[in-house]
Structure 1
Amino acid sequence: MKKRNRIKVILIITIGMILLALPIAMQVKGEVSNKVLDKYVAIGDEISMEADNDYDVAYVSLIKDFLYALNDNLDYSNLSNDGITSSDLLNIIEENKEKIKDSDLITVSIGGNNILNAILANLNIDETILQGCDEEKFDSIISEYLNSDEIKSEILNEVNKFSKDFPKIIKKIKKLAPEAEIYVNTVYNPINKKCNIYNFFDEQISLINDLIVKNNSNYEYKILDCYHILNSDEVLNFKVENGVVRIYPNKVGHAMMAAQVISDYEDYVNLEVDKITSSSENITGKTLPNSNIIIVSENGTIGTTQAKANGEFQVKISPMVSGTNIEVLVYDKKIFSILYKFEKLVVKKDLFTS
């Protein structure tokens, strides 16, 4: 993909409609493409399962909504399951060949449970003592159990399984959908960096990630580098439910993951803005149907609106001085978490004014 420098802003809207800005690098491409993606399949573990609550979004939901905005006839399937390992995923692919066949885009999230299940299943710990604990207490409890030979042996067994399963996963997918763009997530470290057990988990996770990176040269897929995207405690949530520890990306983390995929298809997004002069009373244009539009200048936000079902939008403005720099930003229609496209404009002098 062609790379050019650019700052991308991620805005998360909360129930109170409070916007939070998060800058990340994004790539800009050239002319708008008329191509659309007809079929998207998400496969993998709980990271790619869709959330029930729009404010606890999954990255695959954001990708799906983006593709729906481009093509309302999108064929979408989510074949993800909670707690599965690479061996389980092989079975899921085998059982869902028709759903995967001829896909244009496939995202794969797998490998984390190969490590986590091997560790948690061999701790020999009373799960009730974990109930309600915070990360500090969790760290102190778990650290006493991690150095057993049994756990280390089981981890190596799971890494060996993954090394055999993963190439088969990619081969099966490519056979079913030879034209598909495939994105494979690296495994992130769910442990807070301040915890004593962080380094132990990091060493085990790197064994899986090394295999994902190594196989890329043979099977030509794209890597969604969750290990680095989620390498911050600010994008992860920690909680214990019924003795089960869940450490997963929050909505900011999922938005950052989705942005890495969506940015590859940015030139599929059409954004047309009519000429703006010093006497203009509105900013009008056309873009993705039902998407959110934010218009800003160096002095702050000028206005916001939602595009109509046909993509047309209009924002009422006060007359502006010629030479004013304006940016028109197009966001997803739900929570302003994904920036689809932006365009810079300059207010022109009106020829019919003195």
Structure 2
Amino acid sequence: MKKRAKKLIAMVAAMFMLFTVLFTSTLASADPMTLHYIALGDSVTYGMSAYIVPPPSPVYFGYADMLEDALDAFHDVNYVNVGTPGIDSTGLFMRVKYCPITRPLVMDRDLVTINIGGNNLLKPFIAGIFAEYGVIVDGEIDNTEIASLVASLQAMGPVEAQARYEGLSDPDGPLAAAFKKGIQTFRKDFPRIIGAVRQLAPESMIIVNNLYNPLKPEDPLYAFVDKSIGQINKTINSIAEDGRFAVADVYNAFKYYDGDFDPVMLDPVAAVAYALSGNMAGFAMSIDPHPNTVGHMIIAELQFQICMSHF
């Protein structure tokens, strides 16, 4: 375990050094300027699971912070991150359209990055998993609900637990219906989000992350979830075609990443095994759908490559 941890630290450090060299070589000739940057979105924008300080009192340094830090080496960056854990497309639209706090922050920004849509699917996905094991989630998941889930898994055993998980992919089941609703909501909200941002910052460079699939390809629900993610990404790409923003292709960057460590640690099948064995540390790690530090670095590099052609 110690060797693996050291290897991870060394790998992340090496990636960061390479990342910095890339920034230096490509922006060294850039003229000094004040770059006004705002990061909009959900918990991924917030930086969740890119730890500088681990739980129980975590400090995050996510893709938006990494991008700002790199740009700040060559520009005077005025940066604000208003990423909000749990927010979905409707919540973000309401903020950029009506919120008296958010709207002035977006106004006249040079750079706007957006990560949104994951919670349109993730919230019903997580709630569906908990409900399948007899635990009703009301809002954000708390430790009591997690403990109830673990107890339920331990009571039923691996065969029934696995069967119930696989059953979530029923095309006529409640999860499929919830995904359909989330996709429809996103299709309505997303053009309005871009329109509201454009109204406030008409000259801004907007970069939108498409959605990644947090599940591993061998997961029984991978194809089921992937289909819905594809529909949201199709909406993003279709609107991007008119040149109103650029797309950071996080989906393919994560899917084809061949490094030593996965950019996302979510693994529900492993989580069941950890719960049954009483390994709560492994269980907690396996139910996290956010990018880890490696994943956030991949996103930051994608966004920086887009910034190179504009600033």
TM-score, structure 1 normalization: 0.62
Taking the aligned partners of 2:151 and 2:95, their CA distance within structure 1 comes to 32
> Which stretch shows the higher mean deviation, 110-119 or 177-186?
110-119
Q: Which residue of 2 aligns with 1:197?
A: 221
Greater RCO (Cα-Cα under 8 Å, separation 6 or more): 2
Residue 45 (structure 1) aligned with residue 75 (structure 2)? no
Deviations 1:48-93 (A, max 9, x none): 1135833763111101112222234x22111111121100111221
CA distance, structure 1, for counterparts of residue 40 and residue 250 of structure 2: 16
Report if aligned partners of 1:114, 1:158 keep a CA contact under 8 Å in 2.
Answer: yes
Aligned to 1:333: none
Q: 1:160 to 1:265 in 2, by over 3 A?
A: closer
Instruction: Please name the residue that 1:186 is paired with.
Output: 210
Name the structure 1 match of 2:174.
150
* 1:95-134 map, 5 Å: 95=99, 96-123=102-129, 124-125=131-132, 126-127=134-135, 128-130=148-150
Pairing partner for 1:235 from 263, 287, 291: 263
Q: Aligned with 2:167: secondary structure?
A: coil
How far 1:34 sits from its partner (Å)? Answer: 1.1
Residue 84, structure 1, aligned to residue 87, structure 2: yes
Give the aligned length.
254
Q: Distance in 1 between matches of 2:65 and 2:180?
A: 33
Taking the TM superposition and a 5 Å limit, the aligned residue runs for 1:275-314 are none
Q: Is the 8 A contact 1:107 1:183 kept in 2?
A: yes
Equivalent-residue separation in structure 2 for 1:204 and 1:181 (angstroms): 28
The whole-number CA distance in structure 1 between the counterparts of 2:229 and 2:12 is: 36
The 3-state SS of whatever aligns with 2:114 is strand
Amino acid at match of 1:158: G
Secondary structure in 2 matching 1:246:
coil
Partner SS, residue 54 of structure 1: strand
Asked if structure 1 preserves the Cα contact closer than 8 Å seen for 2:208 and 2:245, the reply is yes
2:289 to 247, 262, 266: 247
The one-letter amino acid of 1:129's match is L
Q: Structure 1 or 2: larger helix share?
A: 2
SS in structure 2 at match of 1:192: coil
Question: Where has structure 1 moved over 4 Å in runs of 4 or more?
Answer: 12-19, 21-24, 26-31, 130-133, 136-141, 239-244, 265-269
Give the distance between the partners of 2:7 and 2:72, measured in 1 at CA: 21
- Percent identity between the two aligned chains: 24
Look up the match of 2:239.
215
Report the equivalent of 2:73: 69
Query: Which consecutive residues of structure 1, in runs of 5 or more, have no partner in the other structure?
Result: 1-11, 270-354
Cα distance change on mapping 1:21 and 1:153 into 2, 3 Å? closer
Q: CA RMSD in A?
A: 3.6
Deviation at 1:146, TM superposition (A): 3.0
